[in-house]
Chains A and B, each alone.
Chain A
Amino acid sequence: MNSKFLRTATMATSALALAFSISACGAGNESDSGAPADGGDASLSGTLNGAGSSAQEAAVAAWTQGFQTANPDVTVNYDPAGSGAGREQFIAGGINFAGSDAALDEEEMTSAAAKCASDVIEVPTYISPIAVIFNLEGVADLNLSSATLGDIFSGVITKWNDPKIVAENPDAKLPSSDITPVHRSDDSGTTENFTDYLDQTSGGTWSKGAIQTWPFKSGEGAEGTSGVVAAVKGGKGTIGYADASQAGDLGVAKIKVGDEFVAYSPEGATKALDVSKEVDGASASTIVFQIDRKTTEAGTYPLVLVSYQMACTTYADAGVAGLVKGWLTYVTSQDGQKASAAGAGSAPLSAALSDKIAPIVEKIAAQ
C-alpha cells in the first residue's frame, strides 16, 4: 500500500537491466562459469546489478575497476540509492546484490530468502573509520573522550576552554571561543554509527540513543559528508564527524579507548571488527557484527561504520551465479580490500575475516 508506484517503477527498470545480463561463457577459455577463486578468471561475462549503501559507493567503484580489469566482459552497475532502497530492491528481486549499512532484520531476511529460494548471504565488505574533525586556530591535536564528545554534540559544552576539554588537553592552548558542532542534516549511516558510539560509551552525556536523524535543533546541519567537511572547514571553532578518508587537512581528534587516546587508523578500525562479537542467531551464511564500541583493547578505533553486501546462495541463472560469486570473492579478498583502501580510504577486512568469508561465498551456485 505504500510506494506502490515507486516499486513498480524500480522493478520495471531492474527487469530491463536484468534482461541484458547474458549467461554466456567467454569463448576460448577452458574453465566453466562456476570456477573463479580469486575473481581473476576471464571466463566471466555479463552484467551485474547492485544497489544500496551510498557509503560504499567509492569502494564499489574501486572494486568495479579491479573486477572489470580481471574480467573485461563484465559490466558492474551499482546504484548508490541508499541502504534502505538497496535492501528493498534486493528483496523485490530487482538486483543481484545489495549494499547496506545495516543488516537485514528478521522480516527482511525471511522475504529475501523466499525471493532467493535459498539462504541469503550477508557479509561485511566495507569498514570505514569515522573521524572527529575540527577547525580551531592554533590547535592541531585534540584529545576528546566520548563523554566530552557527548556533551559537545548535545550543546552542553559550548566553549573550547571548558574545564572538561582542558582536563583532557593539558598542553593545548584552547581559546575561549564558542564551539559549533556540525552534524549531518540528511539521514545517514554515519550519524547512526557515531551516535551509537556515543550512546554506548559516553556514560550518559549522550541521551538520544543511536539514531539516523539528528535529534537536536541546536548546532549546525550540513548535507552529506562533503557538506560537513566544507562546513567545518569554513567555520571557526567547528567540530564535526565524517568518513576519515574525507578529513583532508583538517584537525582530527583522538578518541579515548580504555585509558589511552587513539588516533584513527585503518589498522585500528580493522581491529575494532576483530574484537567485536558476531550477532547470535545469524544463519551459517551470514556474518554480522555487533561492534564492540566499549572495547579497551589497545590500538583499536571503535568509531567505525561497517557496511555489508547481500546476495543469494543460488541463482536461477548460472551466469549470474558465477558473476555474483566472482564479485563477492574479489570484494572480500585481501586484493579487493586493498583496492578499496586505496580508492576509497576504507580500512581493509583482516586476513582472518577474509578467510572466514571465503567458504560462504564459495557456496554460491546455480539452482
Chain B
Amino acid sequence: MALAETPQKPITQRGDKIFSGLSLGAGLLILAILAGVAIFLTVEAIPGITSSPEDAPNLDGGSFLHYVWPLVYGTLFAAIIALLIATPLAIGVALFISHYAPRRVAQAVGYLIDLLAAVPSVVYGLWGIAYLAGKLSPVYAWLSEHFGWIPFFKVDPAGGDFALSSTGRTILTASIVLAIMVLPIITAICREIFLQTPRLHQEAALALGATKWEMIRMTVFPYARSGIIGAVMLGLGRALGETMAVAMVLSASGVVSIKLLSSTNPSTIPANIALGFKEPVGNNINVLIASGLILFIITFLVNFAARAVVNRRKEFSGAN
C-alpha cells in the first residue's frame, strides 16, 4: 500500500495502460484477421465443395475430395522432399557458422544465407526453369538409366504417362528450388540455437576428452533438439505455401505418383490455385478457394504438431 502511494505511480499507470491496451489490440487484431480469413475461406469454399461437376468444370466430373486429394498429396510430397534436402544442409551450415568457421568467415556466410531469404520467389522460379532444370536434365537421364530399379527413379518409355522429362522440370527440381528457399529460415534459427548452448556444457564435454564432433553430439544437439524441430516446421510452412516458384518450375498434371523424374507430376495446392485463377468459369473459383481452405487447415495441423513435439521435448533440452 505504501508503495502504491509513490508520486510516480499515476504516470507509470497511464503508460502501462496505453501499452497494455496497444498490445491487447495487436493480439486481438491478429485473431480478428485470422478469423476473417477463416470465415472468408469457409463461406466461399462451401459452394465449391458442394457444387456439382456441371457448375465447376475443373472438378472434371468427380467430387471435390476426388479433385483435392492429389493436390494435398503433391503439396506434402514436394514439401517433404524439400525438407529432406534442406534440413541436413541447414544444420551443417548452421554448425559451421556457430562452431567451426573462424568468426569473420562465419559472419560472412551468415549474411549470405540470410540474403537467400530476400530473393523473391519469382526469381527462384525463373532461375529454376531457365537454368537449373536444364542442368539437371542429364543428371535425371543418368539416374533413371542406372537407378531405374528404385521406384522413385523409375520412368515409363516415351509416350507413356510417366515418361522421362526432357526439360528437367520435375517435382524433384521443384523440391530442390523449395529446399533452397527454406534453407535460410532453418539455418538462421538453428544457428541462433546452437550459439546458445551453455559454454559450460561444451567445456565440460571437452574436459572429459570428447572430440569436437563428440562434444557437438553430446551437448549442442540435445540442447537444440526442440529448436531444430521448430525451425524445420517453420520451413515446412514456407514450403507448403510457396506458389510462384512451383507454378513456374513444375510440369504439373495433378496425378498421384512417387516418380521424381517424369514430366508428369503431382501439382501443389498453391500452384494449382495460381494456374487456375486466371480464367474463372462457373464455380471454379469456389473450388480453388475450397482447396485453399484445405491448405489452411493442413498448415494449422502442422503448426499444432510442431508445438506438441516442441513441448514434449522441452524438459530434455535446456531450451525455454
Contacts and interface: CB of A to CB of B under 8 A. Distances in A.
Given A217-B264, A230-B129, A84 B161 contact: no
B276 A220 contact: no
Interface in A186-221: 186-189, 212-213, 216-221
Contact of A2 (B58, B158, B286): B286
B158 A83 contact: no
Interface in A156-184: 156-159, 178-180, 182
Interface in A1-46: 1-6
B40 interface: yes
A231 B161 contact: no
A187 B169 contact: no
B275 A187 contact: yes
A237 B166 contact: yes
A2 B287 CA distance: 10
Contacts of B254: 217
Given A217-B255, A218-B159, A223 B43 contact: no
A303 B133 CA distance: 30
A309 interface: no
A54 B164 CA distance: 32
Interface stretch (B210-218, B222-230, B277-285): B277-285
Interface string B34-45: 000000100110
Given A180-B263, A218-B159, A186 B283 contact: no
A77 interface: no
Contacts of B248: 223, 227
Given A180-B263, A185-B275, A234 B163 contact: no
A216 B159 CA distance: 11
Interface residues of A, number: 45
Contacts of B167: 180, 182, 220, 231, 234-235, 238
Interface string A73-95: 00000000111110010000000
A6 to B, nearest CB: 7
Contacts, number: 137
Interface string B166-206: 11110000000000000000000000000000000000000
B168 to A, nearest CB: 7
A235 B166 contact: yes
A360 to B, nearest CB: 27
A2 B44 CA distance: 7
Residue in B253, B255, B277 whose Cβ sees the most chain A Cβ within 10 Å: B253
A70 interface: no
Contact of A220 (B159, B165, B278, B279): B165
A217 B60 CA distance: 13
A189 B275 CA distance: 13
Contacts of B57: 213
Tell me if B's interface is mostly helix, strand, loop or mixed. loop
A299 interface: no
Contacts of B158: 158-159, 178-179
Interface string A236-257: 1110000000000000000000
A216 B252 CA distance: 11
A199 B129 CA distance: 31
Contacts of A84: 279-281
A121 B247 CA distance: 36
Contact of B251 (A3, A187, A188, A220): A220
Contact of B159 (A5, A155, A217, A236): A155
A222 interface: yes
A6 B168 CA distance: 37
B251 A156 contact: no
B253 A221 contact: yes
Tell me if A's interface is mostly helix, strand, loop or mixed. loop
Given A156-B159, A218-B264, A231-B167, A54 B251 contact: no
Contacts of B165: 180, 220, 235
A227 to B, nearest CB: 6
A236 to B, nearest CB: 5
Contacts of B285: 2-3, 6
A222 B169 contact: yes
Contacts of B144: none
Contacts of B279: 82-85, 186-189, 212
A122 B158 CA distance: 45
Given A217-B264, A219-B263, A231-B169, A2 B283 contact: yes
Given A2-B283, A159-B158, A223-B247, A230 B44 contact: no
B87 interface: no
A90 to B, nearest CB: 14
A187 B276 contact: yes
Contacts of A81: 278
Contacts of B247: 185-186, 223
B143 to A, nearest CB: 16
B283 to A, nearest CB: 5
Contacts of A217: 161, 253-255, 264
Given A158-B157, A180-B165, A186-B247, 20 more contacts: A2-B47, A3-B286, A5-B40, A5-B43, A84-B280, A178-B158, A178-B159, A179-B159, A180-B167, A185-B251, A217-B255, A220-B251, A223-B274, A227-B248, A231-B167, A231-B169, A231-B251, A234-B133, A234-B167, A236-B137
Interface of B: 40, 43-44, 47, 57-58, 129-130, 133-134, 137, 157-161, 163-169, 247-248, 250-255, 263-264, 267, 274-283, 285-286
